[in-house]
Amino acid sequence: MSVLYIPGEGKTYSEKKNALVEENVFIGKYNSVMIPTYDEAKDLLPKPFIDGHDEYRACYDKAWRIAFSNLRNPTKESGFCSPFIDTAFNGFLFMWDSAFIVMFGKYGQRAFDFHGTLDNFYARQHPDGFICREICESASGDQFFRHDPSSTGPNILPWAEWLYYENTGDAERIRKVFPPLLAYHRWLREHRTWRDGTYWTTGWGCGMDNSPRLPRGVDPEFSHGHMVWIDACCQQILSGRILVNMAELIGRRGEVSDIEKETEMLTRFVNDNMWDGKTGFYYDLRSDGPSGVKTLASYWALAAGIVPEDRLERFASHLFNKDEFFRPHAPATLSADDPDYHPRGGYWRGSVWAPTTYMVLRALDSAGMNDRARVLAKNHHSAVVKVFEDTGTFWENYAPDYIERGESGMTDFVGWSGLPPIAVFMEYVIGIRPHGRDRMIEWRVGETARHGVENYPVGRDSVVDLVCEARANTNERPVVTAKTVSGEPVKIKVAWPGGEYEMMSK
């Protein structure tokens, strides 16, 4: 690990200023609040339930209790601008951890601005657009020099912001975050590409620390291996598409023509060069050709929306193959037919991780494979709940071939392991999704017991109670009631295997 880098010390070259960074409204700001305890906040949180499954609710409540214990105010010495939820690891905020943490934190926004956690990365942006992947919470320093190969990534901040916008409809936030996000994307293009414009990273840079994606004898954690990385390329495609959407929303479309061209080029390259027709899978490209190593990193292609329709079925099928990713606890991060696969996980050599699982669920959704996403989600959620019942807490990762914690990793990890008991429970097991910009809720009803979510937030100001009565089977029409608790009424689209209908909250 690199020594702590304090800006202004040890510079070896002059930083070139980026005009977009001069628009960054987060730099130099400072705000603190009275941090709420869980007991003070719990009445403002959603209250999901499924009759007959009190363990689901106990798991959900404990996740929030731990999350609220990790809330922090910034110190003025840190250069942070906003109260935040700690990554729960080592006194540093991690970029990709934080991006996933706010994906469940959005459901607690009425009690605490979890999404403000990301503001601190923007506040610590360097003049040339660089943002470190790991930033110190107590001092104004980065954990890596900017040109350390593992200094930054993965670039999923735009995705986290766009998911938040879809939930809240907060276009004003998009106006604020657009400049730092665009500057960071362009920094990566300048400093993380090969001559042909494709992207590289490292095991630490991509977040999958010891994944065996690099050739034998090459350091899997800190070397780029002269490889074209499938996740880094597809994350830039996803970032590019979202930046174009943001620019369209806020009237700055003319500023992203370079992003559109890059996205088109990368999409062609990935589909022409990183897809293997024999195995039906996307691979990293080594100097001697496709790596042949199947990991969940490849499903960023599905999340980015670039998989051609005639490849979708074959590519997705690997996720449900018991000899590959669909293990007793699914999905494993490394295919079980790989010689480096560890039945108990080996960290990123098979372990089930909340962030990559959530990415896969969202990716399947984006491809219209909602029912398949729910199969994976229920498997993942039930395993996390069972381990919670056995241990009383949450873990950094989980074993794939056993329903138990991973063989290495942190405990009380909320942290991104708050995703399964909170977001996955409400979005996939219960099946409720908010679309705040349209003041609408989509409810894909899959359970037969009485279930729902009380105190459910929609958009910026509406809160509703949602209940579906018990049914004899999944094909029976759901009887849903929706009560407006506060704010304006919202539309609810109810769907089940036998049909769909619309209603308004009362």
Q: State which of 284, 307, 330 marks the end of a domain.
A: 307
pTM above 0.85, yes or no: yes
**Do residue 328 and residue 291 come from a single domain?**
no
pLDDT for the residue 417: 97
Phi/psi region, residue 217 (left: phi>0; alpha: psi -120 to 50; beta: rest), is: left
Examine the pLDDT at 223 and tell me if it is beyond 70: yes
How many CA atoms are closer than 13 Å to the CA of 199, on its beta-carbon side? 29
pLDDT for the residue 15: 56
Mean pLDDT for all residues in the chain = 94
Is residue 135 assigned to a domain? yes
Pairing of strands 462-468, 480-486: antiparallel
pLDDT for the residue 9: 38
Is residue 161 assigned to a domain? no
Give me 131's structure tokens: 């943002």
Is residue 171 assigned to a domain? no
Mean pLDDT within 408-415: 90
pLDDT for the residue 90: 84
**pLDDT per position as a tens digit, 289-342:** 999 999 999 999 999 999 999 999 999 999 999 999 999 999 999 999 999 999
Mean pLDDT within 435-449: 94
**Do residue 13 and residue 126 come from a single domain?**
yes
CB atoms within 10 A of CB 432: 25
**Do residue 216 and residue 319 come from a single domain?**
no
Peptide bond into 203 cis (omega under 30): no
Q: State which of 286, 307, 328 marks the end of a domain.
A: 307
Q: State which of 307, 331, 362 marks the end of a domain.
A: 307
Is residue 180 assigned to a domain? no
* Count of domains forming the chain: 4
pLDDT for the residue 460: 82
**Do residue 2 and residue 87 come from a single domain?**
yes
SS (H, E, C) 172-224: HHHHHHHHHHHHHHHHHHHHCECCCCCECCCHHHHCCCCCCCCCCCCCCCCCC
Examine the pLDDT at 1 and tell me if it is beyond 90: no
Examine the pLDDT at 4 and tell me if it is beyond 80: no
**Do residue 413 and residue 327 come from a single domain?**
yes
**Do residue 14 and residue 143 come from a single domain?**
yes
Examine the pLDDT at 502 and tell me if it is beyond 50: yes
**pLDDT per position as a tens digit, 178-217:** 999 999 999 999 999 999 999 999 999 999 999 999 999 9
pLDDT for the residue 16: 62
**Do residue 8 and residue 110 come from a single domain?**
yes
Domain interval for residue 335:
36-72+312-429
Measured between alpha carbons, how far is 498 from 249 in angstroms, rounded to an integer? 36
Mean pLDDT within 117-138: 95
Higher pLDDT, 72 or 436: 72
**Do residue 342 and residue 371 come from a single domain?**
yes
CB atoms within 10 A of CB 455: 19
Which string of DSSP letters, residue by residue, matches 61-123? HHHHHHHHHTEEPPPGGGT--S-EE--SSSSEEEHHHHHHHHHHHGGGTTT--GGGGGHHHHH
**Do residue 500 and residue 480 come from a single domain?**
yes
Examine the pLDDT at 143 and tell me if it is beyond 50: yes
**pLDDT per position as a tens digit, 243-256:** 999 999 999 999 99
**Do residue 254 and residue 138 come from a single domain?**
no
% the chain with pLDDT above 90:
90
